Amino acid sequence: MSAHHRSARIKSVHSRARYLGSCAAVALATMLSAAPARAQDAAALNAEAAQNDWPTHHGTYKSYHYSGLEQINAGNVKNLEVAWTHFPERATRGLQSTPLAADGVLYYSGSYSRVYALDGATGRTIWTYAPELDEELVAKQTHSPYNRGIALGGGNLFVGTVDGRVLALDMKSGKQMWDTRLLDSKKVTVGFTGAPLIVKDTLIIGAQGGEWPGRGPIFGLDTKTGKKKWEFFTVAGTEEAMATWGNESWRTGGGGGWMPGAYDPETNSVWWGTANPAPLYDWSGPDWKKSGARPGDNLYTTSVIALDPDTGKLKFYHQELPHDAWDFDSAVGEFVMLERGGKKLVVHPNKSGFVFVYDRSNAKVENVWPLVKNINFVKSIDPKTGELIGRRDLVAGKAETPLCPAIAGGISWNSGSYSPKTGLYYKIGQEWCMELTVQKTTPILEPMAQLNIAADFKLVAPPDGPARGHLSARDPVSGEKKWEVNYKAPPLSSVLATAGNLVFVPDAEGVVHAYNAEDGKELWSHNNGMGHNAGIISYMAGGKQYVAIPAGWGSLVSDEYIALYGEPFKSMAKNTGALVVFALKQ
């Protein structure tokens, strides 16, 4: 909703209130103005396409990362040029966040949870916010100090911090409204890097975890007060789940949910992907149900879970990889919600390189298809049941052949994009493997020294060629491929498809590509001068369409590129960044 429409409606309602001339009428007017605003916001959130605004991390609740705007299109994209640029302060590890846009204002976060509100048409700064963090703690963290996104709702902007807090800021002024500590990060080492998800009046955010020995909580907070409403442990969050961790290994189980999930209003379910158990690798071999570091299935790690947003109660789940012994977690946040043949489905990529398709009402597996070629941690996954066939459970010592994919995954946390116009899902895949020696370890409980890997490893090329990446355009349900573009180094940015029949890919070397969404033909490119490992959005401001791309290199996956590819990554600046915004030439 545009600002002037909102104020016009408020004005008309207020004049009616004056006419009635009573306090009761004023109260009624307030309700009348709030209700349609909420209804309109809800409609935008539930839409397939993000239109003028980009209201939530995944575009809308349907997670398409798709813009319905078509002012910039396949016919005129050759005229796209830089409209304005913004430089964030302290861009340690580059920029990794996905911006949001509302009513012509662009909001984005940088490292140390710094937040910027900018005029979407000109880039003029409206306000900035730099939270005071526990700097001593942050200096001791590995998966830090980057931030991957923010949320908007009820006039506030929300951001998590790596020292374990969630903050609410007034969208208009940047004034802090509340500050809630959820994690004692001095003890558990980790905090929050992922964007929150807002559902009605609840903010949902997942903690980092994985190789860190906590219980990986996901929290629900009251958006107005910041008060905690609920907490769900992705490690042993129910009695049933606790029984899947032998030797009380749930106490150091890892888990977490470090990227935001999505919301299905039809079943009132929040879908969230959970992280891997700790240690990353296990020495149990095929006897993993009874021996090793964490005997059993290790619920609810490496799973997709559906939570009631109001209570945090688990409704249903599917564990994508029971007893994940390869660090192929399910924390990739996108849950592409679509309908096919009258069936309501949700498509979710797993880090292993497999894409899972579920029945949206109960997480029953409808299909599983591989996005990447180089997979050998299993022989296959049964597309009807999701059962892992021919698991490769390692024992202590050097693995005979490299494990594929490598620790960086066949799929990383950057989101793909689904175009309802072409019916194609555009997704980055990664082809690489790693030499691996599994080591027995004991969980360390000393804060900041708790990383529990249980292996040493080295990334190597896969058997079928060099380590590489690709963007493929596929049917999201069957996985059937229509076209593919290959890259020497896998792009680590999210992808944006638009109604202008375009697919944008900001790549690792710094070049932004625009492809024809139908056939993958490159139509435009621009070098931003540094690699991308963040999001990409499109929005309207002052009647004009913009494409906003954070540039800035330095994620934990991108750090691998020096050894794999040499230049330009060896010389690429890591601790800098820029938000580069494009529009059509006047």
Partner 1 sequence: MPIRFVMIAWMAVIGPSLSDAAFAQSASPSGQPAKPPEASADDLDGQQVFLNTCGFCHQDGGRAQGRGPKLSKSERSDDYIIERIKKGKPGAMPAFGSVFSDGQIIAILAYIRGLDD
The pair of structure tokens assigned to 168 is: 């609410």
Cβ closest to partner 1, residue 128 vs residue 441: 441
Q: Does 139 bind partner 1 (CB under 8 A)?
A: yes
Reference 508, options 532, 536, 486, 534; nearest CA is 532
Which tokens is 392 given?
Answer: 């490769």
Stretch that binds partner 1, among 4-12, 258-266, 267-275, 452-460 (CB under 8 A): 452-460
Does 197 bind partner 1 (CB under 8 A)? Our answer is no
Q: Does 560 bind partner 1 (CB under 8 A)?
A: yes
Contact between 93 and partner 1 per CB under 8 A: yes
Q: How many CA atoms are closer than 13 Å to the CA of 407, on its beta-carbon side?
A: 21
Task: Tell me which of 324, 327, 329, 507 is the catalytic residue.
Answer: 327
For 128, the token pair is: 């900035």
Which range of residues in 14-22, 44-52, 80-88, 552-560 is near partner 1 by CB under 8 A? 552-560
Tell me which of 441, 510, 526, 529 binds partner 1, using CB under 8 A. 441
* Phi, psi (degrees; rounded to nearest 5) at 337: -100, 120
Stretch that binds partner 1, among 198-206, 225-233, 383-391, 447-455 (CB under 8 A): 447-455
Instruction: Please state, in angstroms and rounded to a whole number, the distance separating the CA atoms of residues 530 and 389.
Output: 41
Is residue 575 close enough to count as binding partner 1 by CB under 8 A? yes
Residue whose CB is less far from partner 1, 141 or 269: 141
What is the token pair recorded at 195?
Answer: 């964007």
- Interaction between residue 134 and partner 1 (CB under 8 A): no
- Given the rule CB under 8 A, which of 45-53, 142-150, 356-364, 510-518 is the region that contacts partner 1? 142-150
Q: Which of 439, 511, 526, 568 binds partner 1 (CB under 8 A)?
A: 439
Phi, psi of 129 (to 5 degrees): -140, 130
Of 455, 485, 548, 581, which one interacts with partner 1 (CB under 8 A)? Answer: 455
* Window contacting partner 1 (CB under 8 A); options: 17-25, 139-147, 226-234, 342-350: 139-147
Pick the closer one to partner 1 by CB: 229 or 574: 574
Question: Both tokens of residue 41?
Answer: 């916001």
Nearer to partner 1, 234 or 450 (CB): 450
Q: Does position 283 bind partner 1 by CB under 8 A?
A: no
For tokens 């597309």, name the residue: 383
Question: Does residue 446 touch partner 1 according to CB under 8 A?
Answer: yes
Binder among 1, 451, 461, 511 for partner 1 (CB under 8 A): 451
- The binder of partner 1 chosen from 30, 128, 238, 437 (CB under 8 A): 437
Q: How crowded is the C-beta side of 91, counted as CA atoms within 13 Å?
A: 27
Between residue 206 and residue 235, which ones bind partner 1 under the rule CB under 8 A? 211
Eight-state DSSP code of residue 399: -
Burial class (CB in 10 A: 0-12, 13-18, 19+), 400: exposed
User: Does the footprint of partner 1 cover residue 453 (CB under 8 A)?
Assistant: yes
Give dist(CA 170, CA 166) in Å, integer.
14
- Decide: is 148 part of the binding site for partner 1 (CB under 8 A): no
The verdict on 435 binding partner 1 (CB under 8 A) reads: yes
Among 81, 89, 240, 456, binds partner 1 (CB under 8 A): 456
**Closest separation in Å from C-beta 434 to partner 1:** 8
Q: Which is nearer to partner 1, 42 or 139 (CB)?
A: 139
Sheet holding 105-109, edge to edge: 100-102, 105-109, 115-119, 125-129
211 vs 509, beta carbon nearer partner 1: 211
- Contact segment (CB under 8 A) with partner 1 among 17-25, 171-179, 495-503, 551-559 equals 551-559
CA–CA separation, 362 vs 15, rounded Å? Answer: 48
CB 191 within 8 A of CB 184: no
Minimal distance, residue 492 CB to partner 1, in Å: 14
Question: What DSSP assignment string belongs to 248-292?
Answer: GGGGG-B----S--EEETTTTEEEEE---BSSSB--BGGGTTTSS
The residue (of 27 and 139) whose beta carbon lies closer to partner 1 is 139
Shortest spacing between CB 435 and partner 1, in angstroms: 7
User: Rounded to an integer, what distance in angstroms lies between the CA atom of residue 272 and that of residue 254?
Assistant: 16
Pairing assessment for the beta strands 397-398 and 388-389 based on DSSP bridges = unpaired
Residues facing 169 on adjacent strands: 157, 176
Backbone phi, psi, residue 296, to 5°: 120, -175
DSSP state of 582: E
Nearer to partner 1, 37 or 395 (CB): 395
The SS3 assignment for 45 reads helix
What stretches of 120-245 adopt beta strand conformation (E)?
125-129, 151-153, 156-160, 165-170, 176-181, 197-199, 202-206, 217-222, 228-233
368 vs 438 by CB, closer to partner 1 = 438
Among 449, 486, 488, 525, binds partner 1 (CB under 8 A): 449
Q: Shortest gap between Cβ of 433 and partner 1 (angstroms)?
A: 13
* Residue 574 interacting with partner 1 (CB under 8 A): yes
- Quickly count: other Cβ atoms within 10 Å of residue 5's Cβ: 11
The verdict on 457 binding partner 1 (CB under 8 A) reads: yes
> Radius of gyration over alpha carbons of the chain, in Å?
23
Site membership for partner 1, residue 563 (CB under 8 A): yes
Determine, following the binding rule CB under 8 A, whether residue 444 of this chain makes contact with partner 1.
yes
Identify whether 359 is a catalytic site residue.
Answer: no
Which residues form the interface with partner 1 (CB under 8 A)? 92-93, 139-142, 144-145, 211, 435, 437, 439, 441, 444, 446-449, 451-459, 554, 556, 559-560, 562-563, 574-575
**Active site amino acids:** 327
